[in-house]
Amino acid sequence: MSDLTTVGKKITKRDAPLKVTGGASYIQDLKIPGMLYGGILYSKYAHAKILKLDTTKAERLPGVIAVITAADVPGNFRFGIMKDNPPLKAGRVRSTRDEIAAVAAVSAEIAAAALELIEVEYEELPGIFDPLEAMKAGAPLIHEEMKSNILKMPWKLVCGDVEAAKNESAYVVSDTFRTQWATHCCLGTSGCIAVFDMGNNLTMYSNTQIPSLAQNDYFEALSAFGLKNRRVRIVQSAIGGGFGSKLDTYAYEYIAILLSMKTRKPVKFIFSREEEFFATSPRQCTITKISQGCDKDGRLTFREIEMVLDNGAYTSWGATTPSVMMMPISSLYKVPNVKYVAQCVYTNNTYSQAMRGYGNPQATFAIESSLDQLAEEAGLDPYELRLRNANEPGELTPQNFKVTSCGLKECMAEVVKRLDWKGKKGNGNGRGVGMASLIHVGGGARVYKSDGCGTIIKMDDRGKVDVLTGATEIGQGSETVIAQIVAETLGVSIDDINVINNDTDVCPWDVGAHASRSTFVAGNSALGAAQKIREQMLAVAAQNMDVDPAVLDIKNGVVFSTQDKEKIMPLSKVLRKAHYTPGGNMFTAEHFYDPPNENFDKEFKGNLSVSYAYGVHGVEVEVDRETGQIKILNYIAAHDVGKAINPMLLEGQIYGGGLMGIGYALGETMIYEKGHLKNGNFLDYKIPTAKDVPPVQAVIVETDEQAGPFGAKGIGEPGLVPTAPAIANAIYDAVGVRIRDLPITPEKVLRALQEKAQADAERSGA
């Protein structure tokens, strides 16, 4: 490959100039003339019967145009993967985020006032808030029409023979780990504007991460509401953060559609910060029992995991996180025998959906904490145990993942070197080091039947390029990376590239901004289309220059012969030649890239992704033994990224993911009491501030993934997968206590230190 001019360079983000001037339009900023403002009334109780619901006073408030309840929802429409979620609830409420009524008014203030006038009479019912309780036989059913609170979504993965392997293991460890509900905290809250045209076709202004899938969801909803076979258009605003929070549709979106249908006006919903906390779906919390074993040489023999997941009152992607949790369970390190069982259980709590990592952080916390326990049992340095079992390029894992490029060992070496592992391990003076690895999908992920993304490229007479992509820009930089790939391939300046990515009327299909897939899938799609257009242009240029197209190249917007530097033709001239000739030509190309990965078979086996991203995080911590507080002295995040198409944006993902992981490990937790969220605000739900940033190094390891665009694989999620166990392991090295339940708070550390001191005293017969 000749010297790259754009790929691999620190190119500034395409949308940054508009954003730094305050000019980008987020959903909060959009206004349509005549627009109404929506508001939702939520349940007062976690579990109750609705005895009476009277909206008369609200309807009469001047400025209120419509009020709706479940009675106004046509048919028995339910959304969500289990179709168990009605947009407005009737008869019974099952959680404190249940929507029971909604209003549309001429101002947000009037909408809020109207909600206060809705009269509801409840009969409170006892609620179940512990999935372990909800699983028991005879527990009251959350959904009466289902026979059990355990979801009919049995997750089970078996590879090899775990029982036999257990018996043959020289060392075995077992323990239970818990993780908490944590939430995305996008700075831009959720919202939409629903508007219909004269043909009853819907346009949704939205900050969704799944434009094509949401289009389908709304299409089905419109059908159920009596509007069959309509067009649905999604126009995305600038998106103020995603992190998975917008990978599913929510009740408020269907409510907006219903209100817009009823009022025949655009209806806008914007979540307040409180609503963003309690009415969006957080990261799935987990209870994990894990056993792992190894032989006398420290080679892993088996891994057995059992999980119970609190599914909450309705079902979204939280229930499918086991499909991703299987990935580290079966394929992080070489483990020949694996067994994994997960059950999702309905309760009267909130319900989860996707959040960056999609279950991987939760599973990796258990696996990597347990691995350190195994290392201690086997008398091995935790780095040594990891090294002996590290994945390697060309491996086939027990779940049938085909590992192509793999920089796990290189990442480990970086961490060990930069952290001064050998110098700092085991010093015990309140300071310690710990590490943890990650595997994540890096080449798309076939979680749906399609993992594809389409791109259409067209060129104008002046050599400017329009790239229409299905990929969604949620702040991660997909727009810029796509522009770089196209600019590099076409030999033009990146400033000549215009990426259009926010309108389903214009943009091709894409399954969504999830699974860290944008660089790999959308990038390959853009690369394919760019290569096609390049061929078209070189064919026309070759004709005009009277040479073989094979000798031509393009740089800086000029086509030239590699054999005779005098033979040149500006690209714009090529384009005008093609266009302004009788019987002329226009240049467009399209490419739909659906990576050659596999859906899982009935046994949940199959090559989920075309390539896998690896990484290792190492942490040095200092534990204040009197207060239990943890200070991070040094943080190394080494990531195998295939190729860094844009090192600056890539580092941004590593820093951002890393700090989100630190928040998850040390301080973030949604505090629920009997189904009510007690800390739904930025004061009491503590995401890290600028003063919480530790000394951190982002280390990029390039392994040149052949299947990736210019060798790249994904990075969006890996940044926070191994953070919590790396920190937990470092704390153990520092002071000899292991916290098994996130977040690692000073209280837990101090309590553990006190218990350890007491146990030590008893043991020494003091």
Partner 1 sequence: MGFEYHKPHTVKAAVDLMQSLENAKFIAGGTDVMVLIRQKKIAPAHLISLRNIDGFSIIDNEDGLQIGGSATLSDIAANDFIQQRYSALTDAATQLGSRQIRNVATVSGNICNAAPSADTACPLLVLDADVKITGPQGARQLPLDDFFLGANRVDLKPGELVTGFHLPPFGMNTGSAYIKHTRRQAMDLPMVGIAVRVTIKIGGSEIGCKDAFCTIDSISNILRRLEDEELRCEEVRIAMGVVAPRPVRARRAEAALQGKVISEALFKEVAEIAAAEAQPRDSIRGEAWYRREMVKVLTKRAILKAVDRVLRPDDMIHPDRLW
Partner 2 sequence: MKQKITFKLNNEERLVEVDPAWTLLYVLREVLELTGTKEGCGYGECGACTVIIDGQSVNSCLYPILEVEGRTVTTIEGLREASGELHPLQQAFVNEGAVQCGFCTAGMIMSAKALIDQNAKPTEADIKESIAGNLCRCTGYVQIIDAIKTVAGGRRT
Q: Round to whole Å and give the CA distance between 428 and 414.
A: 23
Map residues 273-292 to x or -, x wherever contact with partner 2 holds by CB under 8 A. x-------------------
Closest C-alpha among 478, 13, 29, 473 to residue 242: 473
Q: Choose the one of partner 1, partner 2, none that binds residue 746, judging by a C-beta under 5 to 8 angstroms depending on kind.
A: partner 1
Which contiguous run of DSSP H or E holds residue 424?
helix 421-424
- Contact between 632 and 731 (Cβ < 8 Å): no
- φ/ψ (deg, to 5) at 263: -90, -15
Token representation of residue 39? 């508001």
Q: Choose the one of partner 1, partner 2, none that binds residue 626, judging by a C-beta under 5 to 8 angstroms depending on kind.
A: partner 1
Q: Please give the angle made by the CA atoms of 391, 385 and 664, to the nearest 5 degrees.
A: 80
Closest C-alpha among 177, 178, 192, 269 to residue 236: 192
Contact between 253 and partner 2 (CB under 8 A)?
no
Which contiguous run of DSSP H or E holds residue 596?
none
Using CB under 8 A, count the residues that bind partner 1: 21
User: At its nearest, how many Å lie between partner 1 and the CB of residue 35?
Assistant: 23
Contact between 683 and partner 2 (CB under 8 A)?
yes
Q: Choose the one of partner 1, partner 2, none that binds residue 110, judging by a C-beta under 5 to 8 angstroms depending on kind.
A: none
SS3 at position 278: helix
Contact between 657 and partner 2 (CB under 8 A)?
yes
Contact between 684 and partner 1 (CB under 8 A)?
yes
Q: Round to whole Å and give the CA distance between 346 and 682.
A: 28
Q: Which long-range contacts (CB under 8 A, 24 or more apart) does 594-598 make?
A: 594/450, 594/451, 594/452, 594/453, 595/443, 595/444, 595/446, 595/451, 595/452, 595/520, 595/521, 595/524, 595/707, 596/707, 597/443, 597/444, 597/445, 597/446, 597/451, 598/400, 598/446
Give the one residue of 228, 544, 584, 682 binding partner 1; rule: CB under 8 A: 682
Map residues 218-247 to x or -, x wherever contact with partner 2 holds by CB under 8 A. --------------------xxxxxx----
Token representation of residue 246? 């917008």
Give the one residue of 372, 651, 668, 702 binding partner 2; rule: CB under 8 A: 651
Nearer to partner 2 (CB atom), residue 98 or residue 717 = 717
Q: Choose the one of partner 1, partner 2, none that binds residue 26, judging by a C-beta under 5 to 8 angstroms depending on kind.
A: partner 2
Nearer to partner 1 (CB atom), residue 216 or residue 627 = 627
Nearer to partner 1 (CB atom), residue 562 or residue 689 = 689
Nearer to partner 2 (CB atom), residue 18 or residue 761 = 18
- Contact between 533 and 587 (Cβ < 8 Å): yes
- Contact between 723 and 661 (Cβ < 8 Å): yes
Which amino acid is present at 118? I
Q: What's the count of helices (H) and strands (E) in the chain, helices before strands?
A: 19, 28
SS3 at position 390: coil
Token representation of residue 160? 């090899």
Contact window for partner 2 (CB under 8 A) among 19-27, 66-74, 495-503, 544-552: 19-27
Contact between 627 and partner 1 (CB under 8 A)?
yes
Contact between 741 and partner 1 (CB under 8 A)?
no
Token representation of residue 61? 């408030």
Alpha carbon 520 to its chain centroid, in Å, reads 15
- Total residue count of the chain as it appears in this document: 766
Contact window for partner 2 (CB under 8 A) among 21-29, 251-259, 361-369, 536-544: 21-29
User: At its nearest, how many Å lie between partner 2 and the CB of residue 75?
Assistant: 36
Cβ count within 10 A of residue 238: 21
Alpha carbon 389 to its chain centroid, in Å, reads 28
- Contact between 560 and 553 (Cβ < 8 Å): yes
User: At its nearest, how many Å lie between partner 1 and the CB of residue 110?
Assistant: 12
Q: Choose the one of partner 1, partner 2, none that binds residue 23, judging by a C-beta under 5 to 8 angstroms depending on kind.
A: partner 2
Q: Round to whole Å and give the CA distance between 481 and 316.
A: 30
Q: Choose the one of partner 1, partner 2, none that binds residue 593, judging by a C-beta under 5 to 8 angstroms depending on kind.
A: none
Contact between 61 and partner 1 (CB under 8 A)?
no
Contact between 682 and partner 2 (CB under 8 A)?
yes
Maximum Cα–Cα distance across the chain: 100
Contact window for partner 1 (CB under 8 A) among 100-108, 120-128, 309-317, 743-751: 743-751
User: At its nearest, how many Å lie between partner 1 and the CB of residue 624?
Assistant: 7
Token representation of residue 743? 């977040």
Map residues 160-189 to x or -, x wherever contact with partner 2 holds by CB under 8 A. ------------------------xxxxxx
Nearer to partner 1 (CB atom), residue 528 or residue 661 = 661
Alpha carbon 207 to its chain centroid, in Å, reads 15
Q: Choose the one of partner 1, partner 2, none that binds residue 387, judging by a C-beta under 5 to 8 angstroms depending on kind.
A: none
Contact window for partner 1 (CB under 8 A) among 278-286, 296-304, 548-556, 680-688: 680-688
| H, E, C per residue of 369-401 | HHHHHHHHHHCCCHHHHHHHCCCCCCCECCCCC
Give the one residue of 13, 166, 265, 440 binding partner 2; rule: CB under 8 A: 13
Contact between 357 and partner 1 (CB under 8 A)?
no
Listing from the earlier edge strand, what are the strands of the sheet with 453-459? 497-500, 465-469, 453-459, 588-593
Q: Please give the angle made by the CA atoms of 519, 520 and 526, to the nearest 5 degrees.
A: 75
User: At its nearest, how many Å lie between partner 1 and the CB of residue 528?
Assistant: 46
Q: Round to whole Å and give the CA distance between 40 and 264.
A: 19
Contact between 83 and partner 1 (CB under 8 A)?
no
Contact window for partner 2 (CB under 8 A) among 90-98, 215-223, 472-480, 736-744: 472-480
Contact window for partner 2 (CB under 8 A) among 311-319, 490-498, 648-656, 702-710: 648-656
Contact between 688 and partner 1 (CB under 8 A)?
yes
User: At its nearest, how many Å lie between partner 2 and the CB of residue 574?
Assistant: 32
Q: Round to whole Å and give the CA distance between 242 and 251.
A: 17
Q: Round to whole Å and give the CA distance between 498 and 480.
A: 10
Alpha carbon 568 to its chain centroid, in Å, reads 47
Token representation of residue 615? 């990484």
Contact window for partner 1 (CB under 8 A) among 163-171, 180-188, 568-576, 687-695: 687-695
Closest C-alpha among 701, 697, 718 to residue 635: 697
User: At its nearest, how many Å lie between partner 2 and the CB of residue 169?
Assistant: 40
Contact between 691 and partner 1 (CB under 8 A)?
yes
User: At its nearest, how many Å lie between partner 2 and the CB of residue 630?
Assistant: 18
Contact between 755 and partner 1 (CB under 8 A)?
no
Contact between 477 and partner 2 (CB under 8 A)?
yes
Q: Round to whole Å and give the CA distance between 266 and 260.
A: 6
Give the one residue of 216, 556, 563, 681 binding partner 2; rule: CB under 8 A: 681
Q: Choose the one of partner 2, partner 1, none that binds residue 29, judging by a C-beta under 5 to 8 angstroms depending on kind.
A: partner 2
User: At its nearest, how many Å lie between partner 1 and the CB of residue 669?
Assistant: 10
Give the one residue of 28, 498, 679, 736 binding partner 1; rule: CB under 8 A: 679
Contact window for partner 1 (CB under 8 A) among 44-52, 117-125, 222-230, 683-691: 683-691
Contact between 24 and partner 2 (CB under 8 A)?
yes
Contact window for partner 1 (CB under 8 A) among 246-254, 311-319, 491-499, 671-679: 671-679
Which amino acid is present at 696? V
Q: How far is CA 500 from CA 208, 465, 504, in A?
A: 16, 11, 10
Contact between 272 and partner 2 (CB under 8 A)?
yes
Which residues lie near partner 1 (CB under 8 A)? 624, 626-628, 667, 671, 678-679, 682-684, 686, 688-692, 745-747, 750
Binding site for partner 2 (CB under 8 A): 10, 12-13, 15-17, 19-26, 28-29, 184-189, 238-243, 272-273, 474-477, 648-649, 651-652, 654-660, 681-683, 687-691, 693, 696
